[in-house]
Amino acid sequence: MAVVITSAVACRQLVGIGDQPPTSTAAAMDGGADAVDGAAGACGLAYQATCGSCVMASCCQAATACSSDLVCAPYVNCLAGCNGVASCEAQCLIDNPVGDSSKVVAILACLARSCETECDLPCGNLATALAPPDAASACSKCIAVADCDAAQACAQSTDCVALGECLVACGPGFDCAEQCLDSNEAGAATFNSFGALFNGTCATQCANGNWWSCVGHVTPPTALVTSTTVTIDAVAYAGGPVAGLQALACNTSDFGCQYSLSDGGTDMAGQVSLTVPQSVGGAGFEGYYQFSSPDGGTVPELVYLSVPLREATVHFTVYFISPLVLQGVLSHLMVTQGSGGYLGVVAHDCFDNTAPGVQFSTSAPADAGVQIFYEQNGQPTPGATMTDPSGMALLTNVPAGTIDVVATPSDFGGQPASHFTVNVEDGKVTYVLLFPD
C-alpha cells in the first residue's frame, strides 16, 4: 500500500513484555519475591554467592544507590532472585516498571561491564528486559549467536541503556520516543545496532510486534507544552519529495476541516511545519492532518496518529500516491471502487513496533461492500487474512462519514487491542496509525 507514515524515531525497534508468564516463570518469580523480602546479599541488594562477591568488588557504589531507591531496588532484587531464568527476568519489568531511573541504568550497565560471567548475564542480558517472558530465552539465544558484541556494547553503556529505558517508559506513540532520542543522542548509534537485531535477524525469536500487555492500562498523555510544531515530509510513492501540497491541522470533530488550526504548504523539499495549540496538563492534541494537491497530482489524504501529542516537536513522513498509481493498485486487486473512500491502517504494539498477525474491522454496515486487503511482502494481497510484519492493510469502498476502526491481534485471545474513530471522505485516503489503548 502506498500510503505510509514512517516516524523519525523508526529506530525504536524494541520488543516488549508478554501478557502472562508461563508456569515456569511464575515459579521462578517466587524466588524473585523472596529475594526482595529477604536479607540483602551485596551492598544492599539481593545478589548472592559469586555474583554478590562481584557486585561488592566492582559495583558497590551503584548497588548501594539502587538499594535505597523505591524504583530501582524492587526491580533489581527481582532480577537477582531469578537465578538466570530469562522468562522470570522479563517478567520482572512488568511487575516492577522502572520509568526513567538513572539508578537502574547505573547498576545494569555496571553489572554488564564487570560481572557478566559471575552474574550469568549472557551478552549483557539486555534482551530479557525487552522481550516477552515466553520469548525471552529464545530471544537471548538468538542475539548471542547473531551479534553478541552489539548486545554487550549496549548493555555496558550507560548512554545506550538510558536510551532503551527511556523508550520503554514512553508507552504507545512516538513523539515521546523522539524526545528520548534527542535527550540520549550519545547512545543512539550503539542502541540502533542492538535494536536492529530485534527488528531483523531475531525478530521472530524475540516476538517483535507482539507486546500487548499494556492494553487496558494505557493512560493518554497530557500535554507538556503550550503548542506542538508538527513537521511533515511529503514523499511520492515512486520516490522524491512532493512540493506544493496544501496541509491543514484539524480538530477530530471538524469533519471536512472547515476550521483549520494551522495551515501551510510543502516546500521544494516536500516539507511543511504546522503548529497546533496545546494546554499544559490537558489532553494532548489528537486531531488529524489533511493534505490536498491543487493540480490533482496526488490523491487527497487525511492522516490520524491516534495518540495525543504531548511534546514540543514531532516529525514524521507521509507517502502520497497519484490517482493513476492508485487505479493500478485497484485493478490489480480487481476492485471496482464506488462511492466512499479508502482506509489505510497500520497496527502497532505497545512498543510502537508494527504488528503481525492482526485483523482489522470497522463499524461500516455489513452491506457497504468494504474489502480488506492485508499487505504481504510489500503489496496488498487478495486472500490474506491478517497483517504481516508491516502491520498494514488497505480497505476499499469504505462509506463516507465517521468510522470506528478496531485492531485485534490473533494471539491476544480475541481481545481488541486498539480502537479509533476517523473521518472518511469520498475519493480520499484516510490513513491511521493504530496504537494500543
Let me know the angle formed at the C-alpha of 327 by 323 and 332, rounded to the nearest 5 degrees. 150
Inside any domain, residue 103 = yes
Same structural domain for residues 159 and 282? no
Residue 344 CB partners (closer than 8 Å, separation 6+): 1, 3, 4, 392, 393, 394, 395, 429, 430, 431, 432
Q: How many CA atoms lie within 13 A of 288 on its CB side?
A: 24
Inside any domain, residue 208 = no
Inside any domain, residue 10 = no
Same structural domain for residues 157 and 117? yes
Inside any domain, residue 336 = yes
Same structural domain for residues 265 and 412? yes
Q: pLDDT by residue (tens digit) across 361-370?
A: 999 998 889 9
Domain boundary among 199, 217, 239: 199
Return the C-alpha cell found at 123: 551478552
Flag whether the pTM goes above 0.95: no
Q: Which residues of 277-299 are buried (b: 16+ CB within 10 A; e: fewer)?
A: ebeeeeebbbbbbbbbbeeeebb
CA nearest 376: which of 361, 350, 360, 357? Answer: 357
Inside any domain, residue 3 = no
Same structural domain for residues 191 and 253? no
Q: pLDDT by residue (tens digit) across 386-410?
A: 999 999 999 999 999 999 999 999 9
Same structural domain for residues 309 and 263? yes
Average pLDDT in the 68-79 region?
A: 96
Q: Tell whether the model's pLDDT for residue 23 goes beyond 50.
A: no
CA distance 260 to 247: 10
Domain boundary among 180, 199, 218: 199
Number of C-beta neighbours around residue 21 at 10 A = 22
Q: Tell whether the model's pLDDT for residue 86 goes beyond 50.
A: yes
pLDDT of residue 257: 93
368 exposed, middle or buried (CB, 10 Å; 0-12, 13-18, 19+)? middle
Domain range spanning residue 257? 227-434
Inside any domain, residue 340 = yes
Average pLDDT in the 181-194 region?
A: 89
Number of C-beta neighbours around residue 219 at 10 A = 7
* N residues, the chain: 437
Same structural domain for residues 193 and 236? no
Contact status, residue 335 vs residue 1, Cβ threshold 8 Å = no
CA distance 149 to 123: 7
Domain boundary among 151, 181, 199: 199
Kindly indicate the confidence band of residue 40, based on its pLDDT and cuts at 50, 70 and 90: low
Average pLDDT in the 80-100 region?
A: 91
Q: pLDDT by residue (tens digit) across 120-169?
A: 999 999 888 888 898 999 999 999 999 999 999 999 999 999 998 888 88
Same structural domain for residues 263 and 394? yes
Return the C-alpha cell found at 241: 519529495
Same structural domain for residues 164 and 269? no
Q: How many domains does the chain have?
A: 2
Q: pLDDT by residue (tens digit) across 216-266?
A: 888 888 889 999 999 999 999 888 999 999 999 999 889 889 999 999 999
Inside any domain, residue 316 = yes
Q: Which residues of 142-156 are buried (b: 16+ CB within 10 A; e: fewer)?
A: bbeebbeebbbbbbb
Residue 268 CB partners (closer than 8 Å, separation 6+): 241, 243
Same structural domain for residues 278 and 325? yes
Same structural domain for residues 188 and 291? no
Inside any domain, residue 169 = yes
Average pLDDT in the 38-51 region?
A: 82
CATH, residue 291: 2.60.40.1120
pLDDT of residue 275: 97
pLDDT above 90 covers a percentage of the chain that reads 66
Same structural domain for residues 94 and 192? yes
| Sheet containing 313-320, strands listed edge to edge, beginning at the edge strand earlier in sequence | 5-7, 313-320, 227-236, 271-277
Mean pLDDT of the chain: 87
Same structural domain for residues 252 and 109? no
